[in-house]
Amino acid sequence: MQEVEEYRKYLRKIGKKNHVVDDLIRRCDIFADFLHKRKKLHVDEANKEDILAFFDAIKDEKSSTGNYLRAIGLCFKFKSKSELSALASNLRRQKYLRPEVLLKLETLEKSTLNMRTD
């Protein structure tokens, strides 16, 4: 319960309004229920395959898929699991952006990564 309150504070700190915070937490709870029913896992134990399985289960819910992925991405960002956060964000992008926009984003991300390693 304390972690939920910490997460709530985090979401408010990054500028989310109360109704948005409530919705994000509700969606994370649904993801947690999915994990528990599927593999008896807690969110902290989730991996890439679990996120992909959840995405596969919800992908036909056109109006809410992106919101679930946003909630999961923010949850893992809060938990400092950047790889899982990035996966949720990338799935969200792939679901909603046109292919030519995705290509531009990928090119921009690659050039940004190259600049960081130089």
Range(s) of the domain holding residue 104: 2-117
CB atoms under 10 Å from CB of 75, counted, come to 24
Instruction: Give the count of domains, the chain.
Output: 1
Nearest to 86 by CA among 48, 32, 56: 48
Kindly indicate the confidence band of residue 110, based on its pLDDT and cuts at 50, 70 and 90.
low
Dist. CA 61–CA 112, nearest whole Å: 33
pTM: 0.76
Amino acid identity of residue 31, one-letter, is: F
Of the given ranges (17-21, 32-36, 68-72, 94-98), which has the lowest mean pLDDT?
A: 94-98
Mark out the alpha helices in 14-44 (DSSP H runs).
Answer: 18-39
Mean pLDDT value across residues 99-116: 58
Q: For residue 90, what are the contacts with CB-CB under 8 A and spacing of at least 6?
A: none
pLDDT of res. 26: 96
